[in-house]
Amino acid sequence: MTKSNAPNDDIKQKAKSAAEDLGSSARDTAQDAASAVREEAMRRADSAKSGVADEVSDVASGLRKAAEDMRSGSPQERTIGQIAGGLADMSEAIRDKDLGEMAGELSDFAKRNPLLFIGGIALAGFAATRFATASARRDDRGNTQDGDDRAPYSARNTAQADVQTASGVHARTRPGGAAGTPATPRTPGTAGGTS
């Protein structure tokens, strides 16, 4: 019986060895994939961090220019100048720190100043909402296929037409009004109202 078990033991050993090799290969592949994903995430995070730093720097530059245009020494000029300086410092801090450090500092700030942190988050949310709605409005105005053939709001609401009623009276109607109801009755020979 020992001879008949020898081929089975050999097959079992080969299967076990193949399974171990496959497991090791799968582990290595998973580690390589995780490493690649981590590197790509860090690259994208650094790119986003750099973009945020550039935006903050641009806002700081705009505020600095606005402060220069104000009356020298005024409280508004000093306040806006201080805000611009703070934003410029923040921009440099964003560039110089990695995301882990920034997250830790943000967490510490939130623990030390919870109300200020919540207020800042709310303010950032309002700003993001205003930015998004402004961008959407700009897209709506700029995206027509055959040119902008829509009448502006004021022209749409003031468009009038002369109609003659069944009794022979001329009237001006406005779009959106009740059908057959004149907005401004006129008698023949008058320019826009009753005489």
Instruction: Tell whether the model's pLDDT for residue 186 goes beyond 70.
Output: no
Q: Which has more pLDDT, 189 or 8?
A: 8
Q: How confident is the model at residue 87 (pLDDT cuts 50, 70, 90)?
A: confident
Max CA separation in the chain (angstroms): 126
Q: Is the pLDDT of residue 30 over 90?
A: yes
Beta bridge partners of 162: 172
What number is the average pLDDT over the span 157-179? Answer: 52
Span 124-142, average pLDDT: 76
Contact 49, 99 (CB under 8 A): yes
- Give the residue, 35 or 71, on which the prediction is more confident: 35
Mean pLDDT of the chain: 76
| pTM of the entire predicted model | 0.43
Segment of 63-72, 130-139, 154-163 carrying the highest mean pLDDT: 63-72
What are the CA-CA distances from residue 186 to residues 5, 60, 178, 195 (Å)?
A: 114, 60, 17, 8
Other beta carbons within 10 Å of 109: 13
Strand-pairing partners, residue 173, are 161
Spatial neighbors of 52 by CB under 8 A, at least 6 apart, are 94
Question: Which of 108-117, 134-143, 175-184 shows the lowest mean pLDDT across its residues?
Answer: 175-184
Q: Where are the alpha helices (H) located in the chain, listed in sequence order?
A: 2-69, 75-96, 99-112, 114-142, 153-158
Residue whose tokens read 């703070």:
86
**CA atoms within a 13 Å half-sphere pointing along the CA-CB vector of 151:** 8
Query: Could you tell me what percent of the chain has a pLDDT over 70?
Result: 68
